[in-house]
Amino acid sequence: GRILITPTANHPIADGHISFGFSMRQGSVTNANVSLGGSPLKERERYGFEAGYVSPKWRLQGEYLWGNDLDAAGTTTLERKGYYITAGHHLREAVEILLRYEGFTPDSTLPTVHRTTLGLAYEVSKNVGWYLGYESVSGSTTLTAAPSVGSGIRFRTTVRF
């Protein structure tokens, strides 16, 4: 579950609002998309703490995550952790430029993967948004120490229900 605390509009801070949140998930979920030695991982624990500040012109938010996974045989535990920080500035009412820096460590014995993103978000309507961004990735993106570096362009459409 996730708990997010945001002050009401009647208590602004520098024309904006600060929010804090905590998330956690416990239990065993098999993730067939990620494997270790050919066996699917069992996601066991996830925890996260987030904080943010949003005003009509600016956004600053970040999160720190940590957790443990277990291989299907139950013999190898992976200690995962990650973080991100995002800064944004509204150029116009529906247009926001975003800069994001994030890191993810797939296990405490492996190096951290870093991704830097520069993007542009456009709110088409109250329920639809578009995002276009350039991403640069460096570090190990697998469960081995093999380095990988890459970059690319990402486009996303968001539909809110």
Give the model confidence (pLDDT) of 58-94 as tens digits: 999 999 999 887 766 666 777 889 999 999 999 998 9
Q: How far apart are CA 66 and CA 144, in angstroms?
A: 19
Cβ atoms within 10 Å of 145's Cβ, excluding its own: 12
Higher pLDDT, 64 or 13: 64
Structure tokens at 157: 């459409």
Q: How far apart are CA 124 and CA 5, in angstroms?
A: 27
Quick one: 76 exposed, middle or buried, by C-beta within 10 A (0-12, 13-18, 19+)? Answer: middle
Give the model confidence (pLDDT) of 134-153 as tens digits: 999 887 655 554 555 678 99
Q: How far apart are CA 134 and CA 116, in angstroms?
A: 8
**What residue type is 17 in one-letter code?**
H
Tell me the pLDDT of the chain averaged across its residues.
82
Higher pLDDT, 117 or 106: 117
